[in-house]
């Protein structure tokens, strides 16, 4: 499956956009929609670079998010587009290992009700 435009917009809305590099809360140099440039603070040269356009940042996010979508697809039962998008967003935020160990993934694969309750947890 591929992440839909709505799925990409969902992830982007949680990440927020910055056209210029900044030090994230963990003090790592970041730009665009949470794209890690490197561990550690931004250098003066990075802070002075030309701004990243939002379309370019969305394209980067789409490529990065697809990695997480592929992981969701490989670890989950057959999903519809909305489920895939939501679970890809979750996996993007908690990582593939976090998704693999999550109660959400277990609930999805059991096919039981209560997946939304697990997501809220």
Give percent of the chain above pLDDT 90: 86
Nearest-5° angle of CA 70, CA 74, CA 76?
115
pLDDT value, residue 25: 93
* Average pLDDT over all residues of the chain: 93
Instruction: Identify the three-state secondary structure at position 20.
Output: strand
For residue 115, pLDDT beyond 90? no
pLDDT value, residue 116: 76
- Edge to edge, the sheet with strand 29-32 lists 18-23, 29-32, 35-38
Specify the residue for token string 């056209």: 19
Mean pLDDT of the 18-45 span: 95
């Amino acid at each position: 499956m591929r992440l839909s435009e709505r799925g990409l917009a969902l992830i982007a809305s949680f990440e927020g956009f910055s056209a210029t590099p900044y030090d994230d809360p963990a003090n790592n140099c970041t730009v665009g929609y949470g794209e890690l440039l490197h561990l550690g603070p931004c250098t003066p040269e990075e802070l002075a670079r030309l701004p990243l356009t939002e379309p370019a940042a969305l394209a980067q996010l789409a490529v990065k998010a697809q990695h997480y979508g592929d992981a969701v697809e490989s670890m989950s039962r057959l999903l519809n587009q909305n489920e895939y998008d939501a679970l890809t967003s979750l996996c993007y935020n908690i990582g593939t290992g976090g998704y693999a160990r999550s109660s959400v993934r277990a609930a999805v694969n059991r096919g039981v009700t209560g997946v939304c309750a697990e997501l809220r947890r």
